[in-house]
Amino acid sequence: MAGSSEFRFVAAACRWPDDTQRQAAIATAASAVRDWDRVLAIGQRHRVMPMLASAIAGCTQAPETQRTQCRTDARERAFRSMREVADALRIARAFDAAGVDWITFKGPVLAQQAYGSVVAKSAHDLDLLIDSDQQEVCFQILRDAGYVRHEFDSRAGQGDADEWSRYFKDSNWLHPRTGHLVELHTRLFNNTALIPDIGLSSPREMVDLGTGSPLPTLGRAELLVYLAVHGALTNWFRIKWLADFAALTRASSEEAVDEACRMGVAMGVGPVMDSSFHLARQLLDCPLPAPIPDALPPRSRAARLAAVALDAMTGDNEVAEPQRNHVDALASEMTGWRLSADPTYRMQEVRRWIANPTGRVTNAVPPWLSFANPAIVVGRFALRRLGLWRSGGA
């Protein structure tokens, strides 16, 4: 397996369900760990502290200091997850009262689906998908609930917000007192040609978080496809996302998983599904579904996606989250080119790359330099491919 012995321990901790095979993998990995501080650093960077806490609790090799720190961190995250569930229910009631058509995905709902508990995984934000026509109504509901929009600094005006909505899939809302973050989506991806058939009109599953008030989310097959594409688009740079994908796969029926594989092929992201399931098997011992090939052809898109993901999770990236400036971010986005061979998708990628909406909206690119952005990105991307440029990207 790729990665340091400490990363391999974290990967073993991320296996699910918590059965004898997981416990055996944890015990084997623990015997090779040399630096338990690094184990905690990896767990924090990849946001898997709840799973790491349950794994490290029974490891006699781990010093008590690290075990205590891990338990404390996991307990705080569990309390935060429960508070976020309460917040999610309040927002859900407000959306329903206003007649908003919405679903939630990832976050506490995914934790319940994949692990059977909302506190089994770290919740960073609440993802909500709405129709763009109801955006202003939802904005006001979030403001009334105490949230403020925080993509922009104090100098940003309404024009910046409108420009952001044009180019980006979501807006971010932060509650100043609680620190809770809501991502309000009008589509699942910035590129509208990427799995466009999955969204508000897709089949839904109702998930009860133990409150008696079920929340709507994507149907199981659609959710698996979305998680695979989302992970691949980010190069799976956090093992947390892969752990969620693998756990949901194991918690789903064989029919739903096979349907997700077929759906991915029909939507032009077959290589994404292949690479995602192979990564889940390699790092988390998740069985391959029947429609997925036993091996990835060398130099195929699927093999390249898997290799890039391993590089993004391991090595220097085990403990340090990739840091990118605006040009690095655009260069990294170019790796999204291999997600789909659909001409419409690739044309949108080219248009976004040339337009540089991130720099345009956030003023990260000086106006006098914006004309040269394509040349700068191509040059830096070429240097990175040649190994002459190091950045936090994949």
Query: Is the domain defined by 5-318 classed in CATH 2.60.120.260?
Result: no
What are the pLDDT digits (tens) for 178-221? 999 999 999 999 999 999 999 999 999 999 998 888 999 999 99
Q: Whole-angstrom Cα distance, residue 261 to residue 280?
A: 14
Per-residue confidence at 390, pLDDT binned at 50, 70, 90? Answer: very low
Q: With contact defined as beta carbons under 8 Å apart, do 151 and 171 qualify?
A: yes
| pLDDT of 360 over the 90 cut | no
- pLDDT at res. 358: 65
| pLDDT tens by residue, 334-347 | 567 889 999 999 99
pTM of the model: 0.89
Q: Are 392 and 317 in contact (CB under 8 A)?
A: yes
Q: How confident is the model at residue 239 (pLDDT cuts 50, 70, 90)?
A: very high
Q: Say yes or no to pLDDT of 152 above 60.
A: no
- Among the listed residues 227, 226, 204, the one whose alpha carbon sits nearest the alpha carbon of residue 217: 204
Backbone angles phi, psi at 190, to 5 degrees: -60, -40
Q: Could you tell me the pLDDT band of residue 363, with boundaries at 50, 70 and 90?
A: low
Confidence of residue 362 (pLDDT cuts 50, 70, 90): low
pLDDT tens for each residue of 129-145: 999 999 999 999 999 99
In Å, what is the CA distance from 108 to each residue of 83, 115, 227?
Answer: 11, 10, 15
The confidence score (pLDDT) of residue 394 equals: 35
pLDDT at 365: 55
* pLDDT, average across residues 47-58: 94
- CA distance linking residue 191 with residue 348, whole number of Å: 6
- Mean predicted confidence (pLDDT) in 220-236: 97
- Is the pLDDT at 167 greater than 90? The verdict is no
Output the pLDDT for position 351. Answer: 82
> Long-range contacts made by residues 363-371, C-beta under 8 angstroms, separation at least 24?
364/325, 364/326, 365/326
Structure-token pair, residue 201: 């009109």
Q: Where are the domains of the chain?
A: 5-318, 326-385
Q: What is the pLDDT of residues 368-387, one digit of tens each?
A: 555 566 665 566 556 555 55
Q: Mean pLDDT, to the nearest integer, of 142-156? A: 76
